[in-house]
């Protein structure tokens, strides 16, 4: 066990975990905008600043909790004046970039950021990179790309055209911290990143599934156990089928046991 102090309180940390993980596990809140537990931290937004002492750290050094691996004897302070000053400047920069985000506005209220002194832009994306990374590293569709450099950096489908490799799983829209990726769902279609996909229909009842042909194909690359005939049946019809089997079992007066395994 590794011993780490957060705000003075001694905590037991697991080897290899980050300060952000340790803090979250123990109920401390560290603001973050580019971290997701299913991804390795990237350290892009810089909102999760903390102050570190001990364990060979330089005096009062600020660093990002998401990229900081715990070390024996480490002392972390979450809300020092330094931390909050720089965190607020970063938040101010983001709010100048994306002026109308409820998520950021709420953060500003929470951390006491009162005034945006910088020239305001009109973007919606805070350039955290999560959408590209999730699609790349987790979903595996690799439909999006970080393009451009510096202030011109964008996170979009390549060339900002309807993404060829997208499967409409909508994960990117889900994890976007400022919810700026619009998804339109109708009974027949899902539209995301400017591309409209047909929804598959349940082969039994015809109900629209939360699934596209493309997503199904991608899922099947993950495991040979996933078959189209199972995937394109809705949950209700799936249960109905189980019900039928169970009923015949019950009618035959057999007790069905299933081990909680």
Partner 1 sequence: MERISSPNALLDVIKKHQDARDPDKVRISVCQGTGCIASGANSVMASFESTLLEKNSSVELLGTGCHGFCERGPLVVIQPEGTLYQRVKPENVNEILDKTIGNGEVITKLLYRDEAKNTYEKEQDVPFYKHQERIVFAMNGHIDPSRIEDYLAMGGYGALAKVLLNIEPEQVIHMVTKSGLRGRGGGGFPAGVKWKSCRDAEGSPKYIICNADEGDPGAFMDRSIMEGNPHSVIEGMIIGAYAIGATKGYVYIRNEYPLALLRLENALEQARELGLLGDNILGTDCSFDITINRGGGAFVCGESTALMMSIEGKVGRPRVKWQHTAKKGLWGNPTNINNVETWANIPPIMDRGVDWFTSIGTGDVSNNPWGGSKGTKIFSLVGKVNNTGLVEVPMGISIRSIVFDMGGGIKNSQKGRTFKAVQTGGPSGGCIPEQYLDNPIDFDELTRLGSMMGSGGMIVMDDRTCMVEVARYFVDFLKEESCGKCTPCREGLRAMSEILGRIVKGQGRHEDLVVLEDLASTMSVASFCNLGLTAANPVLSTLKYFRQEYLDHIDKGECAGRQCQDLIKYTISEENCTGCTLCARKCPTKAISGEKKSLHVIDQELCVRCGVCDDVCNFNAVTILSGPER
Partner 2 sequence: MEKTFIVIPEKCTGCRTCELSCAYSHPMASGQPGNPRIHAYNTKPPLEKGIQIVCLQCDTAACMEACPAFALQRNLETGAIEVHLDRCINCHACFNACSFGNIVLDPNNRVAKCDLCGGDPKCVQFCPTGALLYQ
Q: What is the DSSP string of 115-137?
A: ---SPP---S-----HHHHIIII
Which residue stretches of 77-196 are H helix? Answer: 81-97, 102-111, 130-133, 171-175
CB of 64 to partner 2, least distance (A): 19
Establish if 69 lies at the interface with ligand FES (CB under 6 A): no
Q: Which of 112, 32, 111, 103 is nearest to 66 (CA)?
A: 32
Establish if 250 lies at the interface with partner 2 (CB under 8 A): yes
CB of 136 to ligand SF4, least distance (A): 8
Establish if 98 lies at the interface with ligand FES (CB under 6 A): no
| Distance (Å) of CA 55 to CA 28, 69, 217 | 21, 11, 49
Establish if 49 lies at the interface with partner 1 (CB under 8 A): yes
Positive or negative, the CA dihedral 223, 228, 234, 238 is: negative
| Distance (Å) of CA 8 to CA 32, 73, 224 | 21, 11, 50
93 is in the binding site of which of ligand SF4, partner 1, partner 2, none (Cβ under 5 to 8 A by kind)?
A: partner 1
State the Cα–Cα distance between residues 18 and 28, nearest whole angstrom. 13
Q: Which of 35, 36, 41, 44 is nearest to 16 (CA)?
A: 41
C-beta of 156 vs 212, nearer to partner 2: 212
What tokens appear for 153 in the block? 């950096």
| Of the candidate residues 96, 173, 220, 237, the single one contacting partner 1 (CB under 8 A) | 96
Establish if 87 lies at the interface with ligand FES (CB under 6 A): no
Establish if 69 lies at the interface with partner 1 (CB under 8 A): yes
Pairing of strands 74-77, 49-53: antiparallel
Tell me the β-bridge partners of 62.
51
| Distance (Å) of CA 92 to CA 86, 144, 176, 184, 237 | 10, 27, 19, 31, 51
Positions that interact with ligand SF4 (CB under 6 A) = 125-131, 134-135, 139, 141, 143-144, 155, 163, 166-172, 176-178, 180-181, 192-193
Establish if 261 lies at the interface with partner 2 (CB under 8 A): yes
Establish if 54 lies at the interface with partner 1 (CB under 8 A): no
231 is in the binding site of which of partner 2, ligand SF4, partner 1, none (Cβ under 5 to 8 A by kind)?
A: partner 2
| Of the candidate residues 22, 50, 62, 192, the single one contacting partner 1 (CB under 8 A) | 62
Q: Which of 165, 175, 161 is nearest to 142 (CA)?
A: 165
Establish if 64 lies at the interface with ligand FES (CB under 6 A): yes
Chain residues 13-42 in contact with ligand FES, contact rule CB under 6 A: 32-35, 41
By CB under 6 A, name the binding residues for ligand FES.
32-35, 41, 43-48, 64, 66
By CB under 8 A, name the binding residues for partner 2.
36-38, 134, 138-140, 169-171, 174-175, 209-211, 215-216, 219, 222-223, 225-226, 230-243, 246-247, 249-250, 253, 255-261
């Amino acid at each position: 066990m590794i011993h780490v102090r957060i705000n003075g309180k001694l905590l037991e940390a697991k080897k290899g975990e980050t300060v952000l993980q340790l803090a979250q596990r123990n109920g401390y809140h560290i603001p973050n905008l580019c971290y997701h537990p299913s991804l390795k931290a990237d350290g892009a937004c810089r909102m999760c600043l903390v102050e570190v002492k001990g364990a060979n750290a330089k005096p009062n050094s600020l660093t990002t909790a998401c990229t900081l691996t715990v070390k024996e004897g480490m002392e972390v302070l979450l809300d020092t004046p330094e931390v909050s000053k720089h965190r607020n400047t970063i938040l101010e920069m983001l709010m100048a970039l994306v002026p109308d985000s409820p998520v950021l506005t709420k953060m500003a209220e929470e951390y006491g950021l009162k005034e945006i002194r910088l020239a305001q832009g009109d973007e919606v994306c805070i350039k955290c990179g999560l959408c590209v990374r999730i699609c790349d590293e987790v979903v595996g569709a690799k439909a999006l790309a970080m393009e451009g450099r510096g202030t011109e950096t964008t996170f979009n489908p390549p060339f900002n055209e309807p993404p060829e490799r997208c499967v409409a799983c909508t994960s990117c829209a889900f994890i976007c911290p400022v919810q700026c990726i619009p998804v339109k769902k109708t009974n027949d279609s899902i539209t995301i990143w400017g591309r409209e996909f047909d929804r598959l229909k349940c082969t039994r009842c015809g109900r629209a599934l939360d699934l596209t042909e493309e997503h199904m194909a991608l899922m099947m690359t993950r495991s040979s156990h996933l078959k189209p005939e199972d995937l394109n049946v809705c949950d209700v019809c799936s249960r109905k089928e189980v019900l039928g089997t169970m009923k015949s079992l019950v009618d035959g007066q057999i007790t069905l046991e299933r081990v909680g395994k």
